[in-house]
Amino acid sequence: MSLLAVSNLTKRYRRGGKSIAAVDDVSFHIDPGETLALAGPSGSGKSTIARLVLRLVEPDAGRIEFEGDDFLALRAAALRARRARLQMVFQDPLAAFNPRATVARVLDDPLRIHGIASRSERPRRIAALLERVGLAAELASRAIHEISGGQRQRVAIARAVATKPTLIVLDEAVSALDVSVRGQILELLLDLQRQERIAYLFISHDLGVVRAVAHRVILLDAGQIAESGDARAVIDAPRSAIGKALVAAAPRLHGTRR
């Protein structure tokens, strides 16, 4: 049974009196421990799908099954409790945190909300989480705006794994980082996946990164699935017009790690 099964997902936005489908009848599934990449040009609906899957935005039509349950049927408290299993890492590591927060507070929130650790136990848990993502435990007392972009994204990943999720949505999670940091963060993500069997919905416009980390890929165009399949096969020999255009536009395809 798949971890996440999305069927016929549709989201329309009204713009200037016209209704535009940002996501148009999209279906896919993710298995436990798998990385599914969503790639496509800007405006193809990648980020909207991310937000729909997390129910940060409500779909107009379609079904989302997560861990065998109808995710769209969950209400209020039941939904908040289930969110522990399904986390997200955002593109801009500065915008994703309350500007007044410290690292400790950011990591304390999920532990407190989901009752994962008692008040006295939390500082130790926070230190362990920081170490898990390759940061020094002393960083906990620092303000979010005082640490570097790469460190911030590691904190974002620590926050996402704090609740032991089975699926993490990575919305352009490495796009805003510089190249050397990007490689380290991707390593960290792959390591976490190997150890804890976390599945990723990996959203990116960078086909080189997608080819390196994803098992399967879906290419989106104007809210619809243009092509899907094994990541390397699709990127090495795209059949759809948008796939060919994306591969041609990529400066060079590097990395064959996996």
Partner 1 sequence: MSRFRRFLRTPEAVAGAIILAALIAMALSASLLFPGDPQAIAGPALLPPFQDWSLPLGTDRLGRDVLAELFHGARTSLAVGLAAAAAALAVGSVVGTLAGFAGGFIDEVLMRITDAFQTVPSFLLALAFVSVVGPSLGIVVIAIALGTWTGPARVARAEVLSIRERDYVASARAIGMHPLAIAFREVLPNALPPVLAMSSVIVAAAILTEAALSFLGLGDPNRVTWGGMIAEGRTVLRTAPFLSIVPGIALVLTVLGVYLAGEGIVETTAVRRGLQ
Binding site for partner 1 (CB under 8 A): 51, 54, 56, 79-84, 87-88, 90, 92, 95-100, 109-110, 113-114, 145, 156, 159, 163
Nearer to partner 1, 1 or 95 (CB): 95
Amino acid at 198: I
Minimum CB separation of residue 157 from partner 1 in Å reads: 12
Minimum CB separation of residue 56 from partner 1 in Å reads: 5
Tokens encoding 20: 């535009």
Nearer to partner 1, 88 or 226 (CB): 88
Minimum CB separation of residue 258 from partner 1 in Å reads: 28
Of the candidates 211, 235, 161, 148, the one whose C-alpha atom is nearest the C-alpha of residue 191 is: 161
Nearer to partner 1, 9 or 158 (CB): 158
Helix or strand (DSSP H, E) at 253: none
Is the dihedral angle over the CA atoms 113, 202, 31, 28 positive or is it negative?
A: positive
Minimum CB separation of residue 170 from partner 1 in Å reads: 12
Contact partners, residue 131, CB within 8 Å, separation at least 6: 137
Nearer to partner 1, 66 or 90 (CB): 90
What is the Cα 245 distance to its own chain's centre? 24
What is the Cα 5 distance to its own chain's centre? 16
